[in-house]
Amino acid sequence: MAASRDARDRAADRPLSEDVEGEAVRRLASVPAPEVSDQLGMDERVVEDDALAKLLDARLRAKDDVREVRGVYKAADVAAKDAIAKLDLADGDAVRVGRFRITKRATEPRHVEFDAAAGSRLTIELWAK
Kindly indicate the confidence band of residue 17, based on its pLDDT and cuts at 50, 70 and 90: low
Q: How buried is 117 (Cβ within 10 angstroms: 0-12 exposed, 13-18 middle, 19+ buried)?
A: exposed
* 3-class secondary structure, 38: coil
Q: How confident is the model at residue 129 (pLDDT cuts 50, 70, 90)?
A: very low
How far apart, in Å, are the Cα atoms of 98 and each of 30, 82, 87, 102, 126? 70, 17, 15, 10, 10
**Cα–Cα distance measured from residue 8 to residue 11, given in angstroms and rounded to the nearest whole number:** 5
pLDDT in tens, 50-61: 998 898 889 888
Q: Grade residue 124 by pLDDT with cuts at 50, 70 and 90.
A: low
Q: What Cα–Cα distance (Å) separates residue 1 from each residue in 4, 17, 36?
A: 5, 28, 12
The reported pTM is 0.48
| Three-state secondary structure call for residue 104 | strand
Backbone Cα Rg of the chain: 30
Mean residue pLDDT across the chain? 77
Q: What is the reported pLDDT for 116?
A: 81
Domain boundaries, the chain: 7-32, 49-86, 88-110+117-129
pLDDT tens digit sequence for 65-110: 999 999 999 999 999 999 999 999 999 999 999 999 999 999 999 8
